[in-house]
Amino acid sequence: MKKKKPKLAVWKFASCDGCQLSLLDCEDELLAVAGAIDIANFPEASRAIARGPYDLSLVEGSITTPHDAERIHKIRRSSKYMVTIGACATAGGIQALRNFTDVKEYASLIYANPEYISTLQNSTAIADHVPVDLELRGCPISKYQLIEVVSAYLNHRKPNLPSFSVCIECKLRGTTCVMVAHGTPCLGPVTHAGCGAICPAYNRGCYSCFGPKETVNTEALAEQLKSMGTPPADLVRMFRSFNAEALEFRQESTIHERED
Amino acid sequence: MPDDSTHGGGEHFILDGKALPDLVQSIINAGYWLIGPAVRDGAIIYDEIKSCSDLPRSMTDTQEAGTYRLQQRSDQAWFGFNTCAQSLKPFLYPPTATVCRATREKQGYSITGPTSDTTKMAFLGVRPCDLGAVLIHDRVLADGEYADESYISRRENTLLIAVNCTEAGNTCFCASMEAGPKASQGFDLAMTEIIENDDHYFVVEIGSQKGRSVVSTLSLASATKEQVLQADRRIRPAAEQMGRSLDTSGIRDVLVRNIDNVYWDSVGRRCLSCGNCTLVCPTCFCSTVQDVTDLTGAEAERIRRWDSCFNLEFSHIHGGSVRHSPKARYRQWITHKLAFWHDQFGTSGCVGCGRCITWCPVGIDITAEAHAIREHDLQAAPVKEKTEV
């Protein structure tokens, strides 16, 4: 008897679609992915939606509307495994910058008739609403990590997704530390690995697209950046980007906002 | 591990500064892949050397806790810099390596082991501290019950050309660890660069037959006794110039009896647990093993990858990580390096290269931390009368 292929669904919430596009980006591996699983719902690839339940749901985006806050529960109920993909889904994304201000004020500046906008004050992670089995970090996610998760799922093994620092990835690829050798402010020492340390390899500091690493020490890094001449306002901006709502980054940015 | 290496006191020859390209050519002609110091991305690192023009001539560096800056020298020194950003570790013990591969077959699966790396690698400009670290790795990775076959095959094909230090950096403390500034063993050739008025030459010490055969084609003149003494006189000031020092007297016992010292909290607050210190350390050898599969499950691979005791998963056993706090991980690292390494391998795990100080993003200093533990030693033995040395 032929083994039934597991059903994969991709779901979109408040996001730019960049993470689900990573799946299309897989190119070389895409045929193997399509051969191993049934893609039941994938808005960026096809309008066809197969009925649930789904074996593996990939959820992109954050919760920003009352409607989405309900929809995520329905998806959770029809998903055996739920993996959130990207900074929006795991930490509220760039749109979580609204959490530090008044969203009504923003809406009135942008929309001619803001009264038609139904939105929540805060942009929140999927895990704030429903239990999540695995979170894939990044803005966007790494397609290699995505394939690793699908591959691990299909082969019934644990995915290799280290939560150590980006520094480790720099050293593994032989990149000279941009912070030590160039004095470039870098968030690598507090950032979750996964991207392969792309920015330092191009002589840029890490922007922390992957958010806080395990047992993060933002305070000590911020102290060092300050002593290197980074003003508090810049520290606020550094910690408030794609993962501004991640607990440790939110706390650290708030400290420096007060100093500014 | 070089089978035929001598322990100092070998023959000495003179290589003219202008003849360094001949030595480089002779090494390459002997079929070696030549690795040496080169400037990349604002630092001097070990990289492939195709000719002498790749070497960082007239370059130096200023290193301090948490900073490294490349600088120009006023002379024409070939090796006028301190430690490279990385040691030889990435070459002799690569960051990732395949342990084995498995292929699914109609019935069961087949396994292919690692392919042995027989590339002949020559390292030019190896600092005595880095040489000392290679000898430590030989003990850890090639001796004993769990020898790493791929490391052994790489080392069997290695040519080590040390360059003694005539200057020391701000984060150097090899003199404290008795690993420098002069290479005493384990090299195939050891050179001392001497620049004096218009003279520029190297005193080359032969350390092994392999080393001798590389210079045999260059018809070098023997060094005079005075020239050998001159080389030693050049090295001596480096020992006094070291920017750091570490008091190793009884260090093992001091650290061991202070495992519960509250001082560790202080370093725990500063430590980022980023792992940089361990990955730039020339002796840190810890690695993890990962299994990866392809999507179809037809192929699987087992990969060894550098790991760090600063990573949470490093101490993950059933139920979770046993060293959850950065404080516990820093303490684990320094006590292994300076104390338990003695129990395990019979030497210190530190060669005093100072990389962990320079490349720590927040400049945590192993010599300062070891000193602080000594200062905070709760069970300090009564001060004995100091004897004149």
Q: Supply A93's token pair.
A: 């994304």
Q: Where are the domains of chain A?
A: 7-154, 166-259
Asked if A165 and A190 count as a contact pair (C-beta separation under 8 A), the reply is yes
Q: How near does any CA of chain A get to the CA of B40, in Å?
A: 8
Nearest residue in chain A measured CA to CA from B308: A168
* Among B85, B294, B360, beta carbon nearest to A176: B85
The percentage of residues in chain A with a pLDDT greater than 70, rounded to a whole number, is 99
Q: How near does any CA of chain A get to the CA of B12, in Å?
A: 36
Nearest to B371 by CA among B258, B275, B260: B258
Residue of B35, B39, B40, B41 to mutate when probing chain A, most A C-beta within 10 A: B41
Report pTM.
0.94
pLDDT digits (tens, 9 = 90+) for B208-255: 999 999 999 999 999 999 999 999 999 999 999 999 999 999 999 999
Instruction: Give CA–CA dist B170/B156, Å, rounded.
Output: 34
Predicted local confidence at residue B382, as pLDDT:
55
* Among B40, B296, B358, beta carbon nearest to A32: B296
Contact with chain B for residue A147, Cβ under 8 A: yes
Answer yes or no: do A172 and B279 touch at CB < 8 A: yes
* Among A36, A163, A189, beta carbon nearest to B295: A36
Average per-residue pLDDT for chain B: 93
pLDDT at residue B270 is higher than 90: yes
Answer yes or no: do B271 and A217 touch at CB < 8 A: yes
pLDDT at residue B6 is higher than 50: no
Residue with tokens 């994304």: A93
Residues of B in contact with A164 (CB under 8 A): 275, 308, 310-313
Asked if A91 and A42 count as a contact pair (C-beta separation under 8 A), the reply is no
Q: How near does any CA of chain A get to the CA of B294, in Å?
A: 6
Q: How near does any CA of chain B get to the CA of A2, in Å?
A: 15
pLDDT digits (tens, 9 = 90+) for B337-379: 999 999 999 999 999 999 999 999 999 999 999 999 999 997 7
pLDDT at residue B385 is higher than 60: no
Nearest to B336 by CA among B117, B129, B136: B136
Q: Supply B308's token pair.
A: 């760090």
Q: Say how many CA atoms lie within 13 Å of A117 toward its Cβ.
A: 16
Q: How near does any CA of chain A get to the CA of B274, in Å?
A: 5
Contact with chain B for residue A199, Cβ under 8 A: no
Q: Which range is least confidently modeled, A21-30, B155-164, B355-364?
A: A21-30
- Distances in Å between the alpha carbon of B218 and those of B80, B201, B221, B366? 24, 14, 9, 43
Instruction: Give CA–CA dist B282/B135, Å, rounded.
Output: 10
Residue of A37, A156, A180 to mutate when probing chain B, most B C-beta within 10 A: A180
pLDDT digits (tens, 9 = 90+) for A172-192: 999 999 999 999 999 999 999
Residues of A in contact with B86 (CB under 8 A): 171, 174
Count CB pairs under 8 A between chains A and B: 135
Instruction: Give CA–CA dist A33/B199, Å, rounded.
Output: 67
Residues of A in contact with B359 (CB under 8 A): 177, 180
Contact with chain B for residue A155, Cβ under 8 A: yes
Predicted local confidence at residue A247, as pLDDT:
97
pLDDT at residue B152 is higher than 90: yes
- Distances in Å between the alpha carbon of B187 and those of B37, B160, B192, B280? 17, 5, 13, 22
Predicted local confidence at residue B7, as pLDDT:
43
Q: How near does any CA of chain A get to the CA of B121, in Å?
A: 18
Q: Which range is least confidently modeled, A43-47, A170-174, B181-185?
A: A43-47
- Per-residue pLDDT band for A46 (boundaries 50, 70, 90) equals confident
- The ipTM value here is 0.94
Predicted local confidence at residue B8, as pLDDT:
47
B379 versus A210: which is more confidently predicted? Answer: A210
pLDDT digits (tens, 9 = 90+) for B10-66: 799 999 999 999 999 999 999 999 999 999 999 999 999 999 999 999 999 999 999
Task: Return the CATH number of A7-154, one of 3.40.50.2030, 3.60.10.10, 3.40.50.620, 3.40.50.700.
Answer: 3.40.50.700
pLDDT at residue B2 is higher than 50: no
* Among A151, A160, A217, beta carbon nearest to B272: A217
